[in-house]
Each structure stands twice: as C-alpha cells, then as structure tokens.
Amino acid sequence: MEIEILITSQPLVPVKTTPEGCGAVVEFAGIVRGEEDGGVISALEYQAYQPMAEREIERLAREINVEHPCGFVRVHHRIGIVPVGETAILLQAASRHRGAAFAFASAFMDRLKQDVPIWKIRAIPVVP
C-alpha cells in the first residue's frame, strides 16, 4: 500500500487519482461547520504534534489495511485556523473494489480522532 500524508496550514485541495489496479476511490472531506457546541463560529483552530501525528497516521493506515486492503491512501489534515466551509481533513482510499475502500475510510476516521495527536483547540466565535 502506498500512503501519502500531509499536515499543513494551507487550504486542502482534493487531488483526483486512480492508482493502477484500483477500481474504487472513496473520498471523505471533513468540512468545518458554522456551529460548535450550540454556538455560531467563524472557524476552528487545530494543533498537532506533527512528527508523532504522521507516524500514527501511517501506523493506523497499515493496521486497518490488513482487514480492508487498499492500494493507495491519502490523508491530508489542516492545522491552524480553518474557516467555516473549508476542509479540515481529506481522506482518499483506493482499492480494487468499493467495499474495502468504504470500510477502510470508515474505520480510519473512527480511529483518527482517538489515536492521532491532532487536536481541535478552540472554536472561534463569530464577532458581531
């Protein structure tokens, strides 16, 4: 499996790829909503311990790949201030068949929040 990991403060842009031998590409984009804990917000701020986050993302991808084989996985996560409507995380999983790609994406996103040292540190309220 090929893994591409990017943790950046720059806006995330979907990259369309269809790796050879893969018949399915599942893409998940986590978009910042305009509400957090019942309040209206303008952005979220994320922080990461980048070297460890990259290692954990790779470890998780390889672990999940054993049960849900994919030929290619792309994980891009944004840090810093991410405005409402912009992408905080982009995951692409490519496999021979759709079942493995969907299962990989679901399992990965479930584990990302609990295992990877990337934190939502604050919601920035809308200033009237």
When divided into structural domains, the chain yields a total of: 1
* Residue 128, pLDDT above cutoff 80: no
Kindly list the strands in the beta sheet with 24-31, ordered across the sheet, starting from the edge strand earlier in the chain. 2-8, 72-78, 87-95, 24-31
Place of tokens 């540190």: 121
pLDDT at 17: 79
pTM: 0.94
pLDDT band of residue 37 (cuts 50, 70, 90) is very high
Question: 17 lies in which domain range?
Answer: 2-125
Max CA-CA distance within the chain? 52
pLDDT at 80: 98
- Domain with residue 86: its CATH number is 3.90.1170.40
* Residue 23, pLDDT above cutoff 90: yes
